[in-house]
Structure 1
Amino acid sequence: MNEWVESPLYQLATFQKGRKVDTSPFNGDGYAPYLGASGLEGGDDGFAATRLAVIAKSTDTLMLWDGERSGLVGYGRQGVVASTVSKLSPSDKVEPKYLYYALSERFDWIQHRRTGTGVPHVPKDLGRLLKLRYPKQRTIQQRIATILTGIDTAIEKTEALIAKYQQIKAGLMYDLFTRGVLPNGQLRPIESSSSTQFGKIPFGWKLGSILELTDPQRQPILTGPFGADLGNADFVAEGIPVLRIGNVQQGELDLSDLLYVTPRKAALLSRYRIKSGDLLFARQGATTGRNALATKLVYGFLINYHIIRVALDHERCAPLFVEAAFANEVVKRQIERDKGRGTREGINTAQITSLAFPIAPLNEQRQIAQILKKINLQIEATQAELNSYRMRKCGLMHDLLTGKVPVKVEEPEVVDG
């Protein structure tokens, strides 16, 4: 029988908030892993003294109690509970990992009920306010937790695979931009490379200006509209998208959070519209130097003041090579040197123009672009797989933790005596 019941959280778990204790970056006698905001997700928060501390067992759920991400939960961690974290020890009504998943599914609910004018925190009476549904039969709770654990394992393995590909790409980028490639696709001997004040470049390459690779039919380097040309009052609910600095990630564009202007406003700002293959460059703040190529998906989008657009000539360069070159140490060192020279941390069009930019012969640029495209496709395919797992988990959590989809548990066979 698959009977579901509902209880307030205080009947399903006991709460114990962590205490302030001595911490250290090193382990030692009387110390254990410190479980703060990072530690409850498996990250490294260092170590803390166990004397007088609140200690978590692997069957406890840990909830971040204070801060922007308050309500976030972790499971399976052992160690010292930080003062910003609360330990929830399950009662005999609920399976430990089922409790973790049930609370994880209610993260948004908790976030909307946070209190505090300065640092937000979980409401003190969460145990009374939050009611959780659960199957009365513990074996069904176990089965639900097992299913969700299985998809979590798949997510972790896929994340690890992406990290592996990213490491391979980083090593490959270093070799390509210090050694170059021969016509047969093999790397040149490092001994043939030349030393410059910014680092090694391959044989046959030169340091030049990015202007050598730009489209002569367009303004080569352009900063987005400034001040009154594009302000908050211009944004509307739907229309022509505007890319901001947060949309420019390294090597890709994040289109999850866009602003829009009317077609009429976009027509007035038509010179700031981008084309497929343009290089978009983050020009201010901590993200200065981050860049990505515009794809067909963003053709006709606008840029704002915090982005510089470089119009590349595809007959004179391989755009993917240029994108990678901006992420190369030879260019990054110059950007780091230049970005703090103004009144605000950042870089302008004149500074980009003056960068000593590594330029390979066109055929070699295209070879390198093909090599990078191959590893990029592997990363993109694996990222798509990860996104699919995450969507499946979201759907499963809703279906399984509400009882919408019943879960069957195999009954043991009864043998006649």
Structure 2
Amino acid sequence: MVGEQNPWHTRRIADLFSVKKSNTLSRDKLNYEQGACKDVHYGDVLVKYGCVLDLASSDVPYITNNDDVTGEYLCDGDVVFADTAEDLSVGKACEIAGASERKAVAGLHTIVLRPQPGLFASGFLGYYVNSRHFHETMIPFAHGTKVTSISSNDLLSLVIPIPPRPEQEAIAKTLDDIDSLIESLEILIAKKRDLREGLAQELLTGARRLPGFDGPWHQVNLQDALELCTETIPVSDIDETTYVGTENMLKDKGGVVSFDKHVTYANVREYLPGDILFSNIRPYLKKIWFADRSGGCSNDVLVLRSVDANLYDSHYCYLVLSRDDFFAFVTNNSSGTKMPRGDKEAIKTYQMAIPKDIGEQRAIAQVLADLDNEIQETERKLDKYKQVKQGMMRELLTGRIRLAQE
């Protein structure tokens, strides 16, 4: 940080950039195996690519037929915008890197802006055009209802800052450093999840035994270990933190969030701490939760409870039902098309592998719980650094905080 520095200047994008031609190739014209030229597709810009896109990345597909290659080859420093989206993510962009080693063009629903040579440090534009400040100046120009779009003329009418080149380099380096940290945490989380899933597969099937346990296992129907609870409580006994409906259960075993709507029922199904709640609507979404409180839920949420805590550990049973095998079983025994619903009688017959020793059940549950806690702690750290990055972008890319120039 420094005191007095050279001022930032702003110029219209039209005065500094030229528009380059892209193509209109659809996704079925691309592949991830081989080709002479890569294609930067707008859908990937919207959801996959970061602020700076290295064309050496395996996430950038090839154009399958060389005769389909149209548009101008991308250069380092080009900025590729997604000009269409189904929401206000329209205008998401990435700066191109690695173009000297990979031929690539921009594809369907993209706008390519090429800056004048030497004006911007590598990476600065990628971070700036993805800042909230820039996005907020661009959104008023977006048009459309069901699909939102922005034109090249709209982009050219906007203004962009030109900090001193050394400061641009310092900003890009600072943000790239925290991006590298975020990426390393994402890789670590993915590795831990893979480890956890592999270990769960072995421990919950008896393929691997924990030290000190060698007793028998048995296969039981779900209804032998868990009962479907149907007791109800008045809606006055719950609030937004204790009501669980299919709407506020998160997919892919993500748990639950607060319910922000009005509960229209007079009574709701009761659940207690240690119960297993499973959304029986669209079971392929894998909505399941191990309750850590008392509350009420909708009739579309099944409440499963251990029939005997001395024989069947509820946390262990939750882990068994969190496996993909269970969701596939319920999905295969569902009826309905738009909103398929699991067959309760079939669910009761689902086969569960369970150690006869309750101690082994609890030990397995604890091992996996410890891994889950470790993953969650790393995810919290990742969220923290993402928030730090947003704050840094807000301050550095508006000039509120200035970095030292060498």
TM-score range, shorter chain: 0.7 to 0.9
**SS at 1:261 equivalent:** coil
Check the 8 A contact 1:181/1:368 in 2, yes or no.
no
**SS at 1:38 equivalent:** helix
Q: Of residues 12, 17, 23 in structure 2, which corresponds to 1:19? A: 23
| CA displacement, residues 261-307 of structure 1 (integer Å, 9 cap, x when unaligned) | 38xx78x43x43543322221222364443221234xx43x434543
Alignment pair present for 1:322 and 2:349? no
Alignment pair present for 1:308 and 2:295? no
| CA displacement, residues 169-218 of structure 1 (integer Å, 9 cap, x when unaligned) | 111121112325546257x7xxxxxxxxxxxxx9522122245234xxxx
User: Where does 1:61-76 land on structure 2 (aligned, <5 Å)?
Assistant: 61-68=79-86, 69-76=89-96
| Offset of residue 150 of structure 1 | 0.6
Unaligned runs of 5+ in 2: 50-56
Q: What is the distance in 2 between the residues matched to 1:259 and 1:114?
A: 29
Q: Of residues 40, 54, 62 in structure 1, which corresponds to 2:72? A: 54
Shift in alpha-carbon separation, 1:17–1:258, aligned structure 2, 3 A: farther
Q: Which residue of structure 2 aligns with residue 90 of structure 1? A: 115
Alignment pair present for 1:406 and 2:389? no
Check the 8 A contact 1:36/1:45 in 2, yes or no.
no
Q: What is the distance in 2 between the residues matched to 1:63 and 1:312?
A: 54
Q: Which residue of structure 2 aligns with residue 249 of structure 1? A: 251
Q: Which residue of structure 2 aligns with residue 414 of structure 1? A: none
| CA displacement, residues 289-343 of structure 1 (integer Å, 9 cap, x when unaligned) | 43221234xx43x434543332346554333322221133543442232124678
Q: Of residues 120, 127, 132 in structure 1, which corresponds to 2:148? A: 120
Q: What is the distance in 2 between the residues matched to 1:51 and 1:333?
A: 42
Q: What is the distance in 2 between the residues matched to 1:343 and 1:10?
A: 48
Q: Which residue of structure 2 aligns with residue 379 of structure 1? A: 375
| Offset of residue 350 of structure 1 | 3.2
Q: Of residues 14, 23, 31 in structure 2, which corresponds to 1:10? A: 14
Check the 8 A contact 2:141/2:154 in 1, yes or no.
no
Q: Which residue of structure 2 aligns with residue 196 of structure 1? A: none
Check the 8 A contact 2:203/2:209 in 1, yes or no.
no
Shift in alpha-carbon separation, 1:95–1:273, aligned structure 2, 3 A: farther
| Offset of residue 85 of structure 1 | 1.8
Letter in 1 for 2:278: F
Q: What is the distance in 2 between the residues matched to 1:98 and 1:172?
A: 43
Q: What is the distance in 2 between the residues matched to 1:11 and 1:316?
A: 75
Deviates more, 1:162-171 or 1:96-105: 96-105
**SS at 1:54 equivalent:** coil
| Offset of residue 82 of structure 1 | 1.0
Q: Which residue of structure 1 aligns with residue 333 of structure 2? A: 338
| Offset of residue 27 of structure 1 | 4.7
Check the 8 A contact 1:67/1:120 in 2, yes or no.
yes
Shift in alpha-carbon separation, 1:356–1:95, aligned structure 2, 3 A: same
| Offset of residue 366 of structure 1 | 0.6
The alignment of Structure 1 onto Structure 2 pairs a total of residues equal to 374
**SS at 1:87 equivalent:** strand
User: Where does 1:7-406 land on structure 2 (aligned, <5 Å)?
Assistant: 7-16=11-20, 18-21=22-25, 23-25=29-31, 27-28=33-34, 30-38=36-44, 41=49, 44=59, 46-48=61-63, 49=66, 51-68=69-86, 69-76=89-96, 78=99, 79-91=104-116, 92-106=118-132, 108-109=135-136, 110-111=138-139, 113-135=141-163, 137-180=164-207, 182=209, 184=211, 204-210=217-223, 212-214=225-227, 220-222=228-230, 242-245=244-247, 247-255=249-257, 258-261=259-262, 268-269=266-267, 271-285=268-282, 287-296=284-293, 299-300=294-295, 302-312=296-306, 314-328=309-323, 330-340=325-335, 344-361=339-356, 362-406=358-402
Shift in alpha-carbon separation, 1:315–1:16, aligned structure 2, 3 A: farther
Report the RMSD for the aligned CA atoms in angstroms: 3.5
Check the 8 A contact 1:24/1:46 in 2, yes or no.
yes
Shift in alpha-carbon separation, 1:365–1:241, aligned structure 2, 3 A: same
Letter in 2 for 1:82: G
- Once the two structures are aligned, what percentage of the paired residues are identical? 18
**SS at 2:342 equivalent:** coil
Q: What is the distance in 2 between the residues matched to 1:178 and 1:140?
A: 57
**SS at 2:18 equivalent:** strand
Check the 8 A contact 1:213/1:312 in 2, yes or no.
yes
**SS at 2:149 equivalent:** coil
| Offset of residue 55 of structure 1 | 2.5
Q: What is the distance in 1 between the residues matched to 2:192 and 2:209?
A: 24
Unaligned runs of 5+ in 1: 189-201, 215-219, 231-236, 411-417
| Offset of residue 401 of structure 1 | 0.9
Letter in 2 for 1:394: Q
